[in-house]
Amino acid sequence: MEYNRKLILEDGQEYCGYGFGSNDNRVCELVFNTSMVGYQEILSDPSYTYQAIVMSYPLIGNYGMAEEDYESENLTAGALIVHEYNDLPSNFRSTATLSSIMEKYDIPGIYGIDTRKLVRSIRDFGSRKVLITDAGTTKEEGIDILKKTEIPKDAVSKVSCQHIWKSKVLLGDGLAKAYKTHKKHIVAIDCGMKKNIVLSLNRLGLDVTIVPWNTSADEIRNLRPDGVFISNGPGDPEDADVTIATVKELIGEYPIFGICLGHQIISLAYGAKTYKLKFGHRGGNHPVKNLETGKIEITSQNHSYAVDPESIKDTPLKVTHLNILDKTIEGVSCENDRIYSVQYHPESAPGPQDSRYLFDKFLKMIEG
């Protein structure tokens, strides 16, 4: 079968393959994920907005798509790049093929390429722009398109909810822990929040009011929360300037917990700085050391930016977690302000469940 789709990187590299999903041509940021399973949760994670995801595991699509496993209702990933695509899933929970869902949400895909070579290229030369296009597009045409196309900076506003909504505790769902005293209520600032984060908070016995990324501090105070949560999300954390200003104003008033982009926003609100990693951390196998316990956690991660360790020294924040592989900061806290955050994903969808205790810590902080 003749190749019908192509990847063109901004440094001139080309990879030819076969299309699945949408036939759209798309310019994205090129990233890779090392997870062996969980392509549905990865594809539906809002943090992948405007990104073309290279799956390092070779076989994708073999268990289809299940209704219960989406992390958002609107899929916003830029593209999906795989070695071998299976369009005949074998799974009793599957209700659709991966290709049909990608076509529904206008996400182009390409398979049949050497993903090992492509992942190695990203590791060696870093994340960069890529064009997914028809096989007939020349290298010169592709590079010209890449030069003229900028990755948008509106990722958080694109994926955040537009209106306030609520997710209440289900009494039958594990008889939520917080009913030992009385039910608590938190506000979650949605910067691109995954569904399983909301469910993890509900399972603690917390009613959650989800608000848009640009909600003001006064609007949050009017909701009378017992605590505030800041979610994960896509893009450069400095682009979420309105959220940073809101968190800065709320520091010390409520217990605050942040995950991923929320971790970066908290650090920026304290005056620290962030920087872009060469190729980011994405996958379900990243080792992190808890500096308070000495234990190693295997974590699920998805981020392009990290907190600058030198800038932390000028803030009240204490580093609580470090990445074993590259020593980047994976967690911070300030006990006096009842605030803490982690760079990785303790809700583990997909990924290991080593870090679920972080949600329990939030509940204890609220009850305290």
Asked if pLDDT for residue 218 goes beyond 60, the answer is yes
| pLDDT of the residue at 351 | 81
Residue with tokens 């219960």: 68
Residue with tokens 């599957």: 94
C-beta separation of 65 from 250 below 8 A: no
| pLDDT of the residue at 171 | 55
Dihedral in degrees, nearest 10, Cα atoms 185, 190, 193, 199: 10
Asked if pLDDT for residue 279 goes beyond 50, the answer is yes
C-beta separation of 237 from 305 below 8 A: yes
**pLDDT class for 26, splitting at 50, 70, 90?**
very high
C-beta separation of 191 from 261 below 8 A: yes
Give 170's DSSP letter: P
Asked if pLDDT for residue 312 goes beyond 60, the answer is yes
Using DSSP, how many helices (H) and how many strands (E) does the chain show?
Answer: 11, 21
C-beta separation of 319 from 332 below 8 A: yes
Asked if pLDDT for residue 103 goes beyond 70, the answer is yes
pTM of the model: 0.95
- Decide if 5-151 and 157-367 have a common fold: no
Helix axes 357-367, 195-203, angle to 10 degrees: 50
| pLDDT of the residue at 182 | 54
Asked if pLDDT for residue 40 goes beyond 70, the answer is yes
Token digits of residue 358: 């972080």
C-beta separation of 27 from 130 below 8 A: yes
Token digits of residue 97: 């093929």
Average pLDDT over residues 67-82: 97
Domain coordinates in residue numbering, the chain: 5-151, 157-367
Q: In terms of residues, how long is the chain? A: 368
Determine whether domain 5-151 maps to CATH 3.40.47.10. Answer: no
Quick: pLDDT tens for 225-258. 999 999 999 999 999 999 999 999 999 999 999 9
| Catalytic sites, residue numbers | 260, 345, 347
Which amino acid appears at position 312 of this protein?
Answer: I
44 phi-psi bin (left φ>0, alpha ψ -120 to 50, beta other):
alpha
Quick: pLDDT tens for 314-325. 999 999 999 999
Average pLDDT over residues 119-123: 98
Say which CATH topology domain 157-367 has. Answer: Rossmann fold (3.40.50)
Asked if pLDDT for residue 181 goes beyond 50, the answer is no
**pLDDT class for 200, splitting at 50, 70, 90?**
very high
pLDDT averaged over every residue in the chain: 95
Asked if the peptide bond before residue 108 counts as cis, ω within 30 degrees of 0, the response is no
C-beta separation of 268 from 239 below 8 A: no
C-beta separation of 47 from 158 below 8 A: no
Average pLDDT over residues 147-154: 96
Average pLDDT over residues 211-220: 98
**pLDDT class for 169, splitting at 50, 70, 90?**
confident
| pLDDT of the residue at 98 | 98
Asked if pLDDT for residue 149 goes beyond 90, the answer is yes
Task: Count CB-CB contacts under 10 A for residue 316.
Answer: 15
| pLDDT of the residue at 178 | 45
Q: Out of 162-176, 236-250, 321-335, pick the least confident.
A: 162-176
